[in-house]
Amino acid sequence: MTFSVTILGSSSALPTSKRFPAAHVFNTHERLFLVDCGEGTQIQLRKYKLKLSRLERIFISHLHGDHVLGIFGLISTLNLLGRKAPLAIYAHQEFEPILNKNINFFIKNLQFAISFIPIEANQKKSILFEDQQIIVETFPLKHRIPCNGFIFREKEKTPNIKKHLIEKYCIPLSEIVRIKQGANFTLPTGKVIPNSELTYLSSSPRSYAYCSDTMFFSKLAEYVKNVDLLYHEATFGSEMASLAKQTGHSTASDAAKIASLAKVKKLVIGHFSSRYKDIDPLLTEAQQIFPNTSAATEGDIFKIEANRVKL
Amino acid sequence: MTFSVTILGSSSALPTSKRFPAAHVFNTHERLFLVDCGEGTQIQLRKYKLKLSRLERIFISHLHGDHVLGIFGLISTLNLLGRKAPLAIYAHQEFEPILNKNINFFIKNLQFAISFIPIEANQKKSILFEDQQIIVETFPLKHRIPCNGFIFREKEKTPNIKKHLIEKYCIPLSEIVRIKQGANFTLPTGKVIPNSELTYLSSSPRSYAYCSDTMFFSKLAEYVKNVDLLYHEATFGSEMASLAKQTGHSTASDAAKIASLAKVKKLVIGHFSSRYKDIDPLLTEAQQIFPNTSAATEGDIFKIEANRVKL
């Protein structure tokens, strides 16, 4: 089952001729979740053949234009395409009035419902969305204005029972459902076999964290601990560390330090300042601290394969 | 001296992976005038290496999102680049409040002045802007909402005096300035040589008309009579004539009819519906009525050479 991230935009506030403003698409089982929506997102969605009809939810990290100005055109296009399914938008509360003003001005006869879910800019990690397949968590970042990161996690699946133990202990069918739900099994001798010994997960849940604009702070590593794929902004190289701090951004080293502290499996850096025509120095800087790093480029797809558990 | 138009966007309301929403750049003597500003305009400006510092005025034909949603990001970028020069924006009056709301929300500390000049949606042709080099006229189109076209015209230059007549009539230097301003010349015999016989324009003024979203109406040909370059929307082919009428748009044939009636030198069609993966049929349809037609593609530059007058 798909669990992937497509990069639609890798630039910071000033787009270049090749790099679009911030937007990622998280794809889980062909359900699309848009993360940030910079200008031109709808054009990039089409370019990379992501079906607009599959778009289910939009998560906006913060209200700087380069992360959100594509949303009015995107909503207009969804309407022109005849969308009827509701669209959920998660953003800080201040966005709701300006969103509604632009929709009322630019879109006549909106044919689908938009549900606006405010993100609270508090200092806790919390759950924004949850269903049978996925959990979306949010956590605070440190930027010039309230800014939140997101983690998309697969839900834990029902465990399987080890086949050879079914035979060994002659476990009846009636007990299997209970064991899958977490029960232990008692042998006719009275000996209890603990659930953990009887069951296993066929794959461990996958996770993707999106750390939009933020300066370095070590607690961030706790928020994104052990994720499979960490996207972290790296607007600058370490030669611009003081400007990074001043503007509430990170260097490539900062991003790599978080990846390393959090023990993530893979790091992707992005949100590059337009001053870097060549981003190889940023990539090299990050890889010196965290080797398994890639630099985001428009159209890149990062697939996270299921983590099969070996018995 | 440059007199050219660069196509930034050739799509209609739904952009495609290759076609951006409406935006043209009119370049006169390296002064840039932006005509419409669909989403992604700032990215296209960079892609085609048009200097943002040269951007002087923005003209918005009407307030449908595909003609204007790039303006908030563009203004933000101009501000980040340190612009200090004022920016003039011409649009229908209703735009001013939503423009200001978005600027106030998305742009902190705007460092340059924006002068908003309302376009009146009346039924007359009028002058929007004029200086020593250029006149910009506007005229009404027929769309679902108030919509205006624009003509950019070179100003007539000071005429030259025919050199052989200076010698023939022994015209003194003191008279030459007066003759250039329109005076006749009187010979010692009392015979008057009329100004028209003494002077000529080295080149006739060039002109470019932009006809954004409109259905066909014959009076439009009067508005754009004899222009050198006519851009006219051609959202549909003639097989969709009834949908064109219903939605306030033109077919390729409609555009070509206007070009033909107006006796323009060249026609460029654009604003193509996303249903046309291949726009050759639209081009062929227009060329059957008006042969000197081109189809707009992003990055095309249409240069109008000075119309040298032969003596």
Pair A124, A175 in one domain? no
* Beta-carbon contacts below 8 Å between A and B: 85
Give the pLDDT band (50/70/90) at residue B156.
Answer: confident
Q: Can you spell out the DSSP letters for A95-147?
A: HHHHHHHHHHHH-SS--S-EEEEEEP-SSS-EEEEE-SSEEEEEEE--SSS--
Question: Would you call A65 an interface residue with chain B, using a CB distance cutoff of 8 Å?
Answer: yes
Pair B121, B35 in one domain? yes
pLDDT at position A102 is 98
Contact status, residue B116 vs residue B91, Cβ threshold 8 Å: yes
Contact status, residue A131 vs residue A154, Cβ threshold 8 Å: no
Among residues of chain B, what percentage have pLDDT more than 70? 99
> Contact A13/B80, CB-based, under 8 Å?
yes
Classified as helix, coil or strand, A222 is: helix
Pair A181, A86 in one domain? no
Domains contained in chain B, number: 2
pLDDT at position A157 is 79
Buried-exposed string A258-288: b where 16+ CB fall within 10 A, e elsewhere = bbebbebebbbbbbbbbebeebeebbebbbe
Q: What is the mean pLDDT of residues B188-210?
A: 90
pLDDT in tens, B116-153: 999 998 878 999 999 999 999 999 999 999 999 999 99
Q: How far is it, in rounded angstroms, from Cα A224 to Cα A214?
A: 14
CATH number for the domain harbouring residue A287: 3.60.15.10
- Has residue A224 been placed in a domain? yes
pLDDT at position B310 is 57
H or E element at residue B91: strand B87-92
pLDDT at position A173 is 86
- Has residue A140 been placed in a domain? yes
pLDDT at position B17 is 86
pLDDT at position A177 is 86
> Contact B69/A72, CB-based, under 8 Å?
yes
Pair B70, B171 in one domain? no
H or E element at residue B103: helix B95-106
pLDDT in tens, B31-80: 999 999 999 999 999 999 999 999 999 999 999 999 999 999 999 999 99
Statement: residue B200 has pLDDT above 90: no
Pair B48, B70 in one domain? yes
> Contact B107/A65, CB-based, under 8 Å?
yes
pLDDT at position A311 is 54
Pair A11, A61 in one domain? yes
Task: Please identify every residue of B annotated as catalytic.
Answer: 66
Q: How far is CA A253 from the centre of its chain?
A: 21
Pair B63, B120 in one domain? yes
> Contact A17/B46, CB-based, under 8 Å?
yes
Q: How far is it, in rounded angstroms, from Cα B227 to Cα B259?
A: 9
Contact status, residue B23 vs residue B296, Cβ threshold 8 Å: no
Shortest Cα distance from A65 to chain B (angstroms)? 6
Please state, as a whole number, how many other Cβ atoms lie within 10 Å of the Cβ of residue B44: 23
- Has residue A310 been placed in a domain? no
Contacts of B102 in chain A (CB under 8 A): 98, 102
Shortest Cα distance from B29 to chain A (angstroms)? 24
Q: Which residue segment(s) compose the domain that A172 sits in?
A: 160-198
> Contact B17/A101, CB-based, under 8 Å?
no
Question: Would you call A306 an interface residue with chain B, using a CB distance cutoff of 8 Å?
Answer: no
Q: How far is it, in rounded angstroms, from Cα B270 to Cα B232?
A: 7
Domain end residue (candidates: A198, A220, A251): A198
Statement: residue B219 has pLDDT above 70: yes
pLDDT in tens, A215-227: 999 999 999 999 9
Pair A79, A106 in one domain? yes
Query: pTM for the complete prediction?
Result: 0.91
Shortest Cα distance from B277 to chain A (angstroms)? 13
Contacts of B106 in chain A (CB under 8 A): 63-65, 69
> Contact B73/A77, CB-based, under 8 Å?
no
Shortest Cα distance from B50 to chain A (angstroms)? 11
Contacts of B70 in chain A (CB under 8 A): 39
- Has residue A311 been placed in a domain? no
- Has residue A68 been placed in a domain? yes
Q: How far is it, in rounded angstroms, from Cα B25 to Cα B159?
A: 29
Q: How far is it, in rounded angstroms, from Cα B22 to Cα B4?
A: 17
Contact status, residue B301 vs residue B4, Cβ threshold 8 Å: yes
Q: Select the residue of A13, A76, A98 nearest B101 (Cβ to Cβ).
A: A98
pLDDT at position A27 is 98
Pair A260, A298 in one domain? yes
Classified as helix, coil or strand, B146 is: coil
Q: What is the mean pLDDT of residues B220-240?
A: 98
Domain end residue (candidates: B179, B199, B219): B199
Closest-CA residue of chain A to B65:
A106
> Contact B73/A81, CB-based, under 8 Å?
no
pLDDT in tens, A255-264: 999 999 999 9
Pair A179, A113 in one domain? no
pLDDT at position B266 is 98
- Which residues of chain A register pLDDT less than 50? none
Contacts of A14 in chain B (CB under 8 A): 77, 80-81
Contacts of B16 in chain A (CB under 8 A): 46
Q: How far is it, in rounded angstroms, from Cα B214 to Cα B12?
A: 12
Pair A83, A29 in one domain? yes
Shortest Cα distance from B94 to chain A (angstroms)? 9
Q: Select the residue of B16, B49, B65 nearest A46 (Cβ to Cβ).
A: B16
- Has residue A48 been placed in a domain? yes
Q: How far is CA A104 from the centre of its chain?
A: 30
Statement: residue B158 has pLDDT above 90: no
Select the residue from B50, B69, B103 to test the A interface by mutation, using most A Cβ atoms within 10 A.
Answer: B69
Pair B224, B268 in one domain? yes
Domain end residue (candidates: A198, A228, A260): A198
Q: How far is it, in rounded angstroms, from Cα B232 to Cα B285?
A: 14
H or E element at residue B134: strand B134-140
Q: What is the ipTM of this complex?
A: 0.89
Q: Known catalytic residue: A228?
A: no
Contact status, residue B47 vs residue B6, Cβ threshold 8 Å: no
Spatial CA neighbour of B19 closest among B232, B284, B301, B275: B275
